[in-house]
């Protein structure tokens, strides 16, 4: 709780509202001709906006209109409810308002609501709903008929697991929330939504589990989202950058994932998920550095295997960050550290190399980074070329030409492979940049320079916070109970508590005991 | 917002601070006087050091809501209290400059003898600048990560030395009576144990003050025991005369490490853990110094004076001493009465005054 004191002074105690302004205006014209004229003007006669006028009632005395966006609204659904509307509309006078009557007696299924303001009508039409405008009515009926083409639920390609659910988020926010809701069908799972972006009006929702999450974190997330005033949100990266704690840091302070099971597991640990329409990447806050090394496999595989894999991943992260600089420092300044036979070998290899080790390392590292980026951007059909060039350039040719030593190729290859083991892509990419900084320091000051650089990064990591939670939570400040899920993953029946700093409200996760065969007296 | 650290973090800070630069200098300065009985001096000094720690923590505990400068003002009057406070600020900054010099000499001599000292001073300067700007919470979090590493470095050295120790090097025990032992204890009291007075600035940050005496004295004793083992191993491995004359005795011990005949000369790796220990001590001293000055002059935020103070400290580290010989002789002779006065006598006096004042009111 202590980490929230600073925020408290800014006045946290009142509840932060999380909804759009001007939703309660009453400014719809009652004259249908004027109404449609205004609509036409507003949409500028766009070809994909369909406006159909029709008459209601058997003697056709009520003038009405139907407005929707072609392609966003589902035609089948529109014709279905239209049939109902025209067939069952009563002959006699209706005592209540027509809109109310339709809502209560005719369209009693589906998502039907009355709205009062122009902006709301426009927004709903542009999001795929159908607006029914009836003459002399002060409100407009909105029927949810959203149904546009979207990608099927597929396994996320960037976050692979051996064992675990094969479903991933897609670009539809409703599908995404449903995927998580299906995993946690609890009344405590809360979802709030608003629209951000003056032009894009992108749906942004936050999800959390009431009772587990620290309410102050939820308030803070809402406050930061409310502060956003931007014209467009095209991807959750926009939101991430507008709400994160430290912009000028290599390390990510907002987590993103495509996996519903990951989101569910983080929600259960007292975190808040932020869904953004139009992207499969869901944000999770607050984060700690440990999250970036936790893969789903750790929890689905048996615990010794999960723990081993996680230790391996952490070790390879260090290899990916420090191996080239360590090699450069040792071969340039501290040759006594190398066993003699190996040293002789290295010296023989380096004999004809024209560059010092640091230049050599830079050449190879930059070559690899270029290859990697090229492989990513290149059309799949010519992807083969990259691997051939990579193998030849990185492998034999450079060594044969005497530009780099074979040992350096091994080091770079090792680094490259190690870099792919980190499950969090954001963290992996940070390590790539840190590697270059350390390389410069190691080339100029040897191991002392490396130590200096590493200490600076440790200080930096220690000073980072994500939504009030220290970035190194569990490691520093040290918490013994949290150690069960940082470097290793202990069996579930030992992890009785949720992570200390994240879920201070409801700490106890489970009370199961270790499994055992039935005892004699049972 | 007032920053808070936990009592465990305080313990970690105390351990790393006490081991700090003492680790590399203590064996030589003790063995110089007490020869093969140096290990007795080491254990004796850490026991006496525990008394020092007790005095300091008792003094702070008597005024739970005051920082050290306020205590000084309260007990000694406004102007005299501030004068003493200024004296303390000088001591902390002086200590930081000395530790900085120790670290720089250690790195320069062992890692890169041809590189100018200024490079290393600058590196250390950047680190204290960054840490003190970030505050005590960050310092303790960094220390949480660093302490295990430096302890592993130290204990690994001790354990890897076990195959080659010669236990008969410490006999005959008490050959020259008790006097050389006391003579050897004396420098160890001033450096590092009396320096623990620096924690008068840190203890008020601890969130739970309940077990603080136990934790503070306990962690000091743990550090004392580690230092004792270092002294013992150094004597047993290097023998007496080489220990006396080496600049950084434990570094020379680490030089003898050899694992399975193919990994040898690992002293650079081990000494990296020594360096981060020194760095922590430096950071704590400097942070305490800036905080003390800010409190004496009642500044709103201590951060405004950090940059000039970093420049002053780095320059002092050059100016105060000529070379490594002077560094060592200063640490084992002049420093002791100086830090004794500030670290033990004045706190003891303050404790006495606080009892008298308490009786009156």
| pLDDT tens, residue by residue, B28-86 | 888 888 888 888 999 999 999 999 999 999 998 888 888 888 889 888 888 999 999 99
What radius of gyration do chain A's Cα atoms show?
30
Q: Which of A21-30, A42-51, B313-322, B345-354 has the lowest mean pLDDT?
A: A21-30
Assess whether pLDDT exceeds 90 at residue A251: yes
Assess whether pLDDT exceeds 90 at residue B333: no
Instruction: Say what the pLDDT of residue A451 is.
Output: 92
DSSP codes, B97-164: HHHHHHHHHHHHHHT-TTS-HHHHHHHHHHHHHHHHHH-HHHHHHHHHHHHHHHHHHHHHHHHHHGGG
* Burial of A336: CB neighbours in 10 Å, binned 0-12, 13-18, 19+: middle
> Best interface-test mutation with B: which of A332, A339, A441, A447 has the largest number of B CBs within 10 A?
A447
Mention every residue, 6+ apart, whose C-beta is less than 8 A from residue A321. Answer: A431, A434, A435, A438
pLDDT of A1: 41
**pLDDT greater than 70 at residue A4:** no
Closest approach of A404 to chain B, Cα-based (Å): 26
Predicted confidence band at A93 (pLDDT cuts at 50, 70, 90)?
Answer: low
Tell me if A376 sits within 8 A of A281, measured CB to CB. Answer: no
Q: pLDDT category, A190, cuts 50, 70, 90?
A: very high
Q: Which two tokens stand for residue A175?
A: 């599908």
| Domains of chain B with CATH codes | 7-360 (1.20.1740.10)
Which residues neighbour A295 within 8 Å (Cβ) at sequence distance 6 or greater? A159, A161, A309, A310, A313, A423
Give the length of chain A: 522
Contacts (Cβ under 8 Å, ≥6 apart) of B50: B217, B220, B221, B224
Cβ separation B119–A456 shorter than 8 A: no
Chain A residue with minimum CA distance to B111: A448
Chain A: residue whose CA lies nearest to B261:
A339
| Residues from chain B contacting residue A452 (CB–CB below 8 Å) | 123, 126-127
Q: Do B130 and A445 touch (CB under 8 A)?
A: no
Residue B144 has pLDDT above 50, yes or no: yes
In this structure, the strands spanning B263-264 and B258-259 are: antiparallel
Contact present, A207 and A267 (Cβ < 8 Å): yes
How does DSSP classify residue A105? Answer: I
Mutate to test the interface with B, among A245, A452, A456 (most CBs of B within 10 A): A452
Query: B328 pLDDT band (50/70/90 cuts)?
Result: confident
Residue A470's H or E segment, with its range, is: strand A469-470
Q: Report the pLDDT value the prediction gives residue A9, as an integer from 0 to 100.
A: 43
- The tens digit of pLDDT for each residue in B213-241 reads 999 999 999 999 999 999 999 999 988 88
| Of B145, B263, B279, Cβ closest to residue A476 | B145
pLDDT in the model for residue A491: 86
Q: What is the mean pLDDT of residues B254-276?
A: 82
Neighbours of A364 (CB within 10 A): 24
Rounded CA separation A446/A455 (Å): 14
Tell which of A441, A477, A487 to mutate to test the B interface (max B CBs under 10 Å). Answer: A477
Q: How many residue contacts between A and B have a Cβ separation below 8 Å?
A: 86
pLDDT of residue B190: 85
Instruction: Name the DSSP letter for residue B242.
Output: H
Q: Mean pLDDT in chain B?
A: 89
Lowest-pLDDT range of A86-100, A175-189, B107-121, B324-338: A86-100
- Report the residue from A445, A448, A477 with minimal CB separation from B6: A477
% of residues, chain A, pLDDT over 90:
30
Residue B4: closest C-alpha in chain A? A2
Give the burial string for A47-63 (b: 16+ CB within 10 Å, else e): eebbbeeeebbeeeebb
Q: Provide, as residue numbers in chain B, all residues whose Cβ is less than 8 Å from the Cβ of A478.
A: 8-9, 144
B15, B221 Cβ separation under 8 angstroms: no
> For chain B, how many residues are written?
361
CB-CB neighbors (< 8 A) of B205 in chain A:
none
From B203, B183, B142, B150, select the one nearest B5 (Cα to Cα). B203
Q: Which residues contact B176 (CB under 8 A, 6 or more apart)?
A: B35, B37
CA pair distance B47, B53, nearest whole angstrom: 10
Give the containing element (helix H, strand E) for B95: helix B78-110
Q: What is the DSSP string of B252-309?
A: HHHTT-EETTTEE--HHHHHHHHHHHHHHHHHHHHHHHHHHHHHHTT-S-GGGGHHHH
CA distance B337 to B346: 12
Of B1, B123, B272, the CB nearest to A447: B272
Q: Is the pLDDT of residue A10 over 80?
A: no
Is the pLDDT at A242 greater than 60, yes or no? yes
Across B172-206, b (16+ Cβ under 10 Å) vs e yields eeeeeeeebbeebbbbbbbbbbbbbbbbbbbbbbb
Which residue among B1, B134, B262 sits closest to A6, beta carbon to beta carbon? B1
% residues pLDDT > 90 (chain B): 40
* A477 preceded by a cis bond (ω within 30 of 0): yes
Q: Which pLDDT score is estimated for A442?
A: 94
pLDDT score, position B218: 93
Instruction: Decide if B268 and A456 are in contact by the 8 Å CB cutoff.
Output: no
Mean pLDDT of A93-102: 75
CA pair distance B201, B283, nearest whole angstrom: 13
Check if the beta carbon of residue A303 is closer than 8 Å to that of residue A493.
no
Element containing residue A282 per DSSP (H, E)? strand A282-285
Torsional class of A3: left (φ above 0), alpha (ψ -120 to 50), beta (otherwise): alpha
How far is the C-alpha of B126 from the C-alpha of B314, rounded, in Å? Answer: 10
- B142 pLDDT more than 80: yes
What's the token pair of residue A217?
């974190």
Residue of A nearest to B104 (CA): A448
CA distance B189 to A132: 89
Query: What would the two tokens of residue A431 be?
Result: 């390590």
Q: Give the sign of the dihedral formed by CA B260, CA B263, CA B268, CA B269.
A: negative
Chain B, nearest residue to A340 by Cα:
B262
Cβ proximity of A499 and A473 under 8 Å? yes
- A455, burial (CB in 10 Å: exposed 0-12, middle 13-18, buried 19+): buried
Do A477 and B4 count as a contact with CB atoms less than 8 A apart?
no
DSSP structure string for A353-367 = --S-HHHHHHHHHHH
CA distances for A77 relative to A71, A74, A83, B80, B307, angstroms: 12, 6, 10, 87, 69
Question: Which pLDDT belongs to residue B23?
Answer: 86
Tens-place pLDDT, residues A211-229: 888 888 999 999 999 999 8
Token duo for residue B134: 């970030």
Task: Please determine, for residue A162, whether its predicted confidence score (pLDDT) is greater than 50.
Answer: yes
pLDDT for A72 equals: 85
Q: Which residues from A are below 8 Å from B141, CB to CB?
A: 462, 470, 472, 476-477
A353-369 confidence digits (pLDDT tens)? 888 999 999 988 998 88
Which tokens belong to B347? 């706190």
Give the CA count within 13 Å in the CB-facing half-sphere of B113: 3
Interchain CB distance below 8 Å, B141 and A448: no
pTM for this entry: 0.89
Strand, helix or coil at A107?
coil
Chain A residues at the B interface, defined by Cβ less than 8 Å, are: 2, 5-6, 9, 333-334, 336-337, 339, 445-449, 451-452, 455-456, 458-460, 462-463, 470, 472, 475-478
C-alpha of B336 from chain center: 13
Q: Give ∠ CA B347-B350-B352 in degrees, rounded to 5.
A: 115
pLDDT, mean over chain A? 85
Predicted local confidence at residue A449, as pLDDT: 92
Q: Which two tokens stand for residue B290?
A: 């800036």
- Mark yes or no for CB contact A2/B4 under 8 Å: yes
Q: Indicate if the pLDDT at residue A3 is higher than 50.
A: no
Query: Does the complex come out with an ipTM higher than 0.85?
Result: yes
Task: Provide mean pLDDT across the span A448-454.
Answer: 93
């Amino acid at each position: 709780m202590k980490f929230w004191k600073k925020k408290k002074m800014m006045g946290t105690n009142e509840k932060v509202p999380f909804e759009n302004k001007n939703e309660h205006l009453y400014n719809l014209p009652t004259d249908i001709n004027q109404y449609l004229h205004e609509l036409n003007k507003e949409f500028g006669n766009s070809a994909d906006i369909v406006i159909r006028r029709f008459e209601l009632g058997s003697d056709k005395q009520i003038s009405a209109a139907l407005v929707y966006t072609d392609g966003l609204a589902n035609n089948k659904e529109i014709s279905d409810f239209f049939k109902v509307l025209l067939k069952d509309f009563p002959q006699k006078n209706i005592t209540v308002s027509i809109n109310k009557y339709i809502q209560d007696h005719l369209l009693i299924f589906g998502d039907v609501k009355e709205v009062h303001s122009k902006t709301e009508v426009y927004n709903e039409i542009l999001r795929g709903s159908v607006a029914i405008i009836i003459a002399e009515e002060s409100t407009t009926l909105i029927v949810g008929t959203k149904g546009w083409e979207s990608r099927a639920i597929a396994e996320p390609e960037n976050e692979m697991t051996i064992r675990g659910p094969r479903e991933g988020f897609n670009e539809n926010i409703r599908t995404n929330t449903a995927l998580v809701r299906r995993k946690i069908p609890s009344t405590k799972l809360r979802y709030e939504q608003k629209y951000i972006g003056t032009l894009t009006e992108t749906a942004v929702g936050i999800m959390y589990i009431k009772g587990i999450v620290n309410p102050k974190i939820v308030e803070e997330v809402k406050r930061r989202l409310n502060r956003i005033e931007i014209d467009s949100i095209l991807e959750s990266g926009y939101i991430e950058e507008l709400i994160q704690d430290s912009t000028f840091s290599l390390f990510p302070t907002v987590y993103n994932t495509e996996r519903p099971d990951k989101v569910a597991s983080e929600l259960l640990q007292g975190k808040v998920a932020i869904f953004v329409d139009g992207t499969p990447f869901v944000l999770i806050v607050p984060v700690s550095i440990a999250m970036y090394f936790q893969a789903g496999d750790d929890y689905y595989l048996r615990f010794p295997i999960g723990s081993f894999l996680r230790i391996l991943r952490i070790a390879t992260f260090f290899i990916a960050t420090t191996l080239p600089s360590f090699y450069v420092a040792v071969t340039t300044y501290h040759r006594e550290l190398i066993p003699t036979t190996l040293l002789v070998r290295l010296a023989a290899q380096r004999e004809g190399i024209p560059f010092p080790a640091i230049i050599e390392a830079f050449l190879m590292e930059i070559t690899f980074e270029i290859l990697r980026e090229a492989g990513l951007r290149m059309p799949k059909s010519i992807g083969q070329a990259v691997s051939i060039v990579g193998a030849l350039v990185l492998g034999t040719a450079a060594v044969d030409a005497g530009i780099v030593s074979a040992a350096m190729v091994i080091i770079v290859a090792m680094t490259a492979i190690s870099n792919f083991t980190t499950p969090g892509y954001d963290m992996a990419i940070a390590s790539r940049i840190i590697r270059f900084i350390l390389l410069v320091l190691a080339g100029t000051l040897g191991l002392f320079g490396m130590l200096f650089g590493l200490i600076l990064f440790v200080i930096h990591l220690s000073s980072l916070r994500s939504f009030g939670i220290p970035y190194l939570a569990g490691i520093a400040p040290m918490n013994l109970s949290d150690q069960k899920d940082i470097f290793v993953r202990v069996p579930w029946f030992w992890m009785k508590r949720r992570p200390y700093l994240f879920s201070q409200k409801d700490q106890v996760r489970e009370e199961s005991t270790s499994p055992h065969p039935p005892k004699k007296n049972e | 917002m007032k920053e808070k650290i936990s009592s465990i973090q305080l313990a970690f800070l105390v351990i790393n601070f006490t081991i700090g630069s003492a680790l590399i200098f203590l064996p030589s300065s003790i063995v110089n006087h007490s020869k093969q009985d140096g290990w007795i001096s080491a254990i004796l000094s850490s026991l006496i050091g525990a008394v020092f720690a007790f005095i300091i923590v008792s003094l702070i505990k008597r005024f739970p809501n005051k920082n050290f400068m306020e205590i000084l003002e309260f007990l000694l009057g406004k102007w005299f209290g501030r004068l003493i406070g200024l004296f303390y600020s000088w001591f902390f900054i002086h200590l930081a400059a000395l530790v900085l010099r120790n670290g720089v000499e250690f790195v320069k001599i062992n890692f890169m003898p041809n590189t100018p000292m200024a490079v290393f001073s600058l590196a250390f300067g950047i680190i204290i600048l960054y840490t003190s700007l970030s505050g005590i919470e960050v310092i303790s979090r960094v220390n949480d990560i660093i302490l295990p590493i430096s302890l592993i470095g130290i204990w690994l050295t001790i354990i890897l030395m076990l195959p080659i120790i010669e236990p008969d090097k410490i006999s005959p025990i008490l050959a020259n009576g008790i006097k050389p032992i006391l003579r050897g204890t004396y420098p160890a009291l001033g450096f590092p144990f009396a320096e623990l007075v620096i924690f008068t600035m840190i203890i008020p940050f601890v969130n739970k003050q309940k077990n603080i005496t136990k934790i503070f004295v306990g962690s000091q004793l743990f550090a004392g025991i580690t230092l004792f083992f270092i002294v013992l191993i150094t004597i047993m491995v290097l023998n007496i005369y080489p220990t006396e004359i080496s600049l950084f005795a434990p570094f020379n011990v680490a030089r003898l490490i050899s694992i399975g005949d193919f990994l040898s000369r690992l002293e650079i790796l081990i000494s990296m853990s020594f360096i981060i220990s020194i760095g922590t001590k430096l950071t704590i001293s400097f942070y305490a110094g800036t905080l003390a000055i800010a409190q004496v002059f009642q500044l709103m935020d201590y951060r405004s004076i950090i940059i000039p103070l970093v420049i002053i400290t780095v320059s002092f580290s050059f100016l105060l001493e000529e070379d490594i010989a002077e560094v060592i002789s200063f640490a084992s002779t002049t420093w002791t009465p100086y830090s004794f006065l500030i670290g033990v006598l004045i706190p003891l006096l303050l404790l006495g005054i606080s009892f008298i004042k308490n009786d009156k009111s």
